[in-house]
Amino acid sequence: MRMLDGRKIVVASHNKGKLAEIAGLIGPFGFEAKSAAEYGLPEPEETGTTFEENAYIKAFAAASATGLPALSDDSGLVVDALGGAPGVYTADWAETGNGRDFAMAMRKVEHLLQEERATTPDRRAGRFVSVICLAWPDGHAEYFRGQVEGTLVWPPRGEKGFGFDPVFLPDGFERTFGEMSVEEKQGIDAPLSHRARAFDLFRRAMLEKA
């Protein structure tokens, strides 16, 4: 595994919330994070068919343009009864042409599950997946994958999360991600969310040893 030899990382995202989240994660270890937007970089087209491929596309584009290691993540919902959909196209399922509507996307998933007669919990299994990619300007990359297994429920429950959180019930819990606080999902000692688990792997491998 290649280790970081500098203290600057580019966050390959134009999302201010994601930048703040990552900056807060790496700041205590003496690392500085700036976003691709701060460098004036365009968002590359995500043409991959896996979470790893799309995470790499974003990270390598930022790394090659800035000459610095770049971090990105790609995440989504994988539903077994739908052949793994929406998967890497999770965000696309919410696109309306005028922003994203995840209430619409959740209805679409439920409609397709009903078409597949997936009406019992054992037929409604799925998982949230998050892949973090740390890429260098020479093309080298390290990957950190976090995922959490669960069941798709209906109707949606909770308003604390975002995306598909209100219909995702993680295994072993009685509340959906939409009913859980950010602190619960990002627990330091036992991360629950897919993104928190991926970041925990990244932190242990790349930050604590740097």
* Residues involved in catalysis: 74
* Cβ pair 76, 163 in contact under 8 A: no
Cα–Cα distance, 110 to 81 (Å, whole number): 11
Neighbours of 120 (CB within 10 A): 8
CA 53 vs. chain centroid, Å, equals 13
- Cβ-proximal residues to 195 (8 Å cutoff; 6+ apart), any chain: 73, 75, 130, 146
Strands 8-11 and 32-35: parallel
Residue with the two structure tokens 């928190």: 196
Buried b / exposed e along 13-50 (16+ C-beta atoms within 10 A): beeeebbebbbebbeeeebebbbbbeeebeebeeeeee
